[in-house]
Every structure is written in structure tokens, then in C-alpha cells.
Amino acid sequence: MEILERDPHIELRVNSEDRGCTRDELVSGFQWADGALTMLSDKIDRELLEVAPRLRVVANYAVGYNNIDLTAANERHVVVTNTPHCLAEATADLTMGLLLAVARRLVEGDGLVRAGLFKGWAPEFLLGMDLHGKTLGIIGLGEIGTCVARRARAFGMRIVYCARHEAPTASELQAERVELPELLRRSDVVSLHCPLTAETKGMLGAAQLAAMKPTAYLINTARGACIDENALIEALRTHAIAGAALDVYDGEPNVKAGFMALKNVVLAPHLGSAATETRVTMGHVAISNILAVLNGGIAPNPVN
């Protein structure tokens, strides 16, 4: 904001409230703007792009960009950019936090202490799963998946992964590439690090969850819609898997009531990149993409 305010060539319209724009605010902004800095909660569809005669760049303040209609943007020669690189470490930190929280029952334990139910150390009290020596299955070994795998290696875990291509970091991580059915069968923890696309939408449904070990945990810091959430609720309820920890939801900020009733799920409110330095860097990246295009240059992080 300070950088843009200092620029004499830039006229700004800002939603300075800590919430997403309403549809009306988006429409009136897009009717007016040459460039837009958007959030993953802003739906940038064809209809919105069609009311924007001057628009040249949409810089999404996120690494994911499934909220933007890229086909419509391409047709209108609008450059779409994201914020890669800068949020992988923070998202990987949160992934490990979620994994530890669910596998070592931290949230359950916190609730118990606060309720005055801690009666003292006991050999079989709140037992969880050891991580060392276990297998972590990573779906999508890109930047974030790689940062998670490095952390998991330091915890003594073995890595298997599935991805469309052999990952360049696979040998560093001693990670073995397998097909999804084998990953689900072998993993003690499954963690999603893929974008939401037509291919990954609903990729973990009832059949895939049934293929996981009954002792396994599922972690999702990618996008909620990659999982069939009703099937996941059922798998958790019947203990077909041991537990799950979620940071993202299909239709968020709404979270299905079925999750709320379960003890074996940890529910975080989309905090993957929510760390101060990371969010500041994401801002710099988004602004540099907007300024590059508006100044007639090449955006550093285009996705179309």
C-alpha cells in the first residue's frame, strides 16, 4: 500500500477492511481499473472480466488461482499472476503443525486441560502416532510439497509421492514416485499439495479414502474441493482412517457441520501462508507483477 501510494502515476481504490469484496464492489472496481490485486476469495469470472474495458492485469494475492477464469482472461488479453516461491516455507510449517496436532492429539489435549480433566501422566493417556519411521505420501511434489518433505525427512519419515512428472527434488528427498492407489495403500500420512484443477477436483473420494490404512491421517492445506468432504466425514466417523487435519474447505468459509461433531479432525481457518513476513513478501510480489504490466514490461509471475 505504501509503495503504491507513493507512486504518482497510480490512482488507488482500496477495500481496506479485513474482508473480501462484495460482488458490487468488485464490479465497480473492475469497470474502472487497469490492474487489480485480488484475493482467493474473490471470484474473477467471465462476467466480471467483461465489465472491465481497461483491465490489463489481475495479480492474485495467493499461489492458487482457481478463483480466476483463465480462459476468459486469455481471450481478453488480461495477464493473471500469482505469488509463488514466497509462501512455500510458511505453508509447509503449517502442514507440519497440523500433522503434529492431529497425530499427537494436541487440540484434544488442550481442550481436556482447559476443562480441568488432566488427572496426571499415565502410560496410555491420549496416545497418538509416532512419526519417525513412518511413510508420508505427498500428492503434488512441487514447491510446497518439497518444503513439507524436507521437514518430514528431518522427522525421520520416508517419502512417497505422486505427480504428473518426476520431481527434480526427488533424489534429494529420497522420495519414491508411485501411482495414487499405491501411495494411498502405503502411506501413514497423506498430504495434499496440488492445485485445484479439473483433474484434482474430488480426487480423494470414498474409494480412495477406503484404500488408506485405518491408522493413517489425511492433511489438506491445498484446496477443500480436492476431497469429497462428505466421504471424508463418513470415513472419520466410522474410523476408516485415524484422523484428518484441514486448513481448507469446499465452499469456505462455510465448514460442514459433520466435521464439527468429530474429535479426530483438526480444523484450521485457512492459515497456510498466514505469517507476517510471508504476507508482506506476497504483497511485494503482487505489486511488482501489477507494476510490471502497467509499465509495459513482462510480469515476473504470470500463470497465463
Residues classed as catalytic: 223, 252, 270
Counting residues that bind ligand GLV (by CB under 6 A) gives 7
Spell out the residues 6+ positions from residue 280 whose beta carbon is closer than 8 angstroms to its own.
none
Q: Does 63 bind ligand GLV (CB under 6 A)?
A: yes
Taking the C-alpha atoms of residue 246 and residue 258, their distance in angstroms, rounded to an integer, is 13
Q: Does 225 bind ligand GLV (CB under 6 A)?
A: no
3-state class (DSSP) for residue 79? strand
**For the chain, first and last CA: distance in Å?**
25
Name the minimum Å distance from CB 207 to ligand GLV.
Answer: 27
Neighbours of 268 (CB within 10 A): 19
Q: Does residue 68 belong to the site contacting ligand GLV (CB under 6 A)?
A: no
Report, in Å, the least distance between residue 40 CB and ligand GLV: 5
User: Would you count residue 283 as binding ligand GLV (CB under 6 A)?
Assistant: no
User: Binding ligand GLV by CB under 6 A: which of 87, 88, 183, 189?
Assistant: 87
Q: Does 35 bind ligand GLV (CB under 6 A)?
A: no
| Amino acid (one-letter) located at 194 | C
| 219 sits near ligand GLV (criterion: CB under 6 A) | no
> Which residue in the set 272, 287, 292, 303 belongs to the binding site for ligand GLV (CB under 6 A)?
272
User: Residue 137's CB: how many other CB atoms inside 10 A?
Assistant: 25
Residue closer to ligand GLV, measured from CB, 34 or 109:
109
- Which runs of E-coded beta strand occur in 140-261? 158-162, 176-177, 189-192, 217-220, 243-246
**Residue 301 in the binding site for ligand GLV (CB under 6 A):** no
Cβ neighbours around 93 below 10 Å, total = 17
Given the rule CB under 6 A, which of 13-21, 58-66, 146-154, 162-170 is the region that contacts ligand GLV? 58-66
Single out the segment in contact with ligand GLV by CB under 6 A; choices: 61-69, 95-103, 127-135, 261-269. 61-69
**Chain centroid offset of residue 183 CA:** 20
DSSP 301: S
SS3 at position 147:
helix
Based on the shown chain and the rule CB under 6 A, indicate whether residue 144 belongs to the binding site for ligand GLV.
no
| Residue 103 DSSP symbol | H
Determine if 58 is a binding residue for ligand GLV (CB under 6 A): no
Q: Are 49 and 76 in contact (CB under 8 A)?
A: yes
Nearest distance, CB of residue 17 and ligand GLV, angstroms? 20
| Residue 224 in contact with ligand GLV, rule: CB under 6 A | no
The residue among 94 and 162 lying less far from ligand GLV, judged by its C-beta, is 94
The three three-digit cell numbers of residue 138, written as one number: 505427498
37 binds ligand GLV (CB under 6 A): no
Q: Which residues of 19-47 are buried (b: 16+ CB within 10 A; e: fewer)?
A: ebbeeeebeebbeebebbbbebebebeee
Query: Are the C-beta atoms of residues 59 and 37 closer than 8 Å to each other?
Result: yes
Applying CB under 6 A, among 187, 273, 278, 289 the residue interacting with ligand GLV is: 273
Contact footprint for ligand GLV (CB under 6 A): 40, 62-64, 87, 272-273
